[in-house]
Amino acid sequence: MKRWVIADTHWGHKKLIEEKLRPADYEARIFDRWLQMIRYEDMVIHLGDVMLPDTNKDTWSRLWSLPGVKILVRGNHDKRSTSWYMERGFAFACDAFELGGILFTHEPRVNVPEYVNYNVHGHLHAGVHREFESGPKHRLVSLEESGYAPVSVEKLVRQSRSPVTPSIDLLKGLHPADGYLELSADGFELDSPTTEE
């Protein structure tokens, strides 16, 4: 299983085309590259701004048919509840989570906690949309920079400018406030935190 991250797909967001921020075929590029790169057993962490609420049902159907176990970190355009997204195909949805020393968020965190090695985020669109002065722990996931393709989590960490060596266990350890999300052969299970003896 590989772990991938993608952000700001903005399916149905015609304004991005009208303002020439993305090519007219950007949606097709994202779908095509997803299909080329991701297998059904892979994990895909979507860092928010999936699609606009009024996007047609065909686009939603295409998203759910794409391979990979999908996790959503909601973005500023993802206005519905986390349960709404989980009822429609995401295995898990939240506003942020930390996994193996990596904090996954939609918007970059200004103050990254000291115990976190990296803040992997979207929202900035390669600096063409918003400005933010990133620090050594920030890793921007930008479709404009990745050729409209998902990016390997391991690749993001390898491109580190930080002297911190991450300990990555991406198979388990997702921990929302109420427990741990564990990946097993049967899928995801939410368990209460336990202490080792």
Give the domain ranges of the chain: 3-170
**Distance separating alpha carbons of residues 119 and 98, to the nearest angstrom:** 9
The overall pTM is greater than 0.85: no
183 backbone dihedrals φ, ψ, rounded to 5°: -100, 130
Nearest to 27 by CA among 6, 4, 1, 3: 6
Query: What's residue 197's pLDDT?
Result: 37
Task: State the architecture of 3-170 in CATH terms.
Answer: 4-Layer Sandwich (3.60)
The answer to whether 10 and 122 have CB atoms below 8 angstroms apart is no
Alpha helix (H) residue ranges in the chain: 15-18, 26-37, 57-65, 82-87, 143-146, 153-158
pLDDT digits over 62-104, tens only? Answer: 888 999 999 999 998 888 899 988 988 899 999 999 988 899 9
The answer to whether 37 and 4 have CB atoms below 8 angstroms apart is yes
Query: What's residue 160's pLDDT?
Result: 55
Query: What's residue 40's pLDDT?
Result: 95
Query: What's residue 133's pLDDT?
Result: 62
Query: What's residue 69's pLDDT?
Result: 96
Instruction: Give every residue of the chain whose pLDDT is below 70, as ranges.
Output: 53-56, 125-134, 159-197
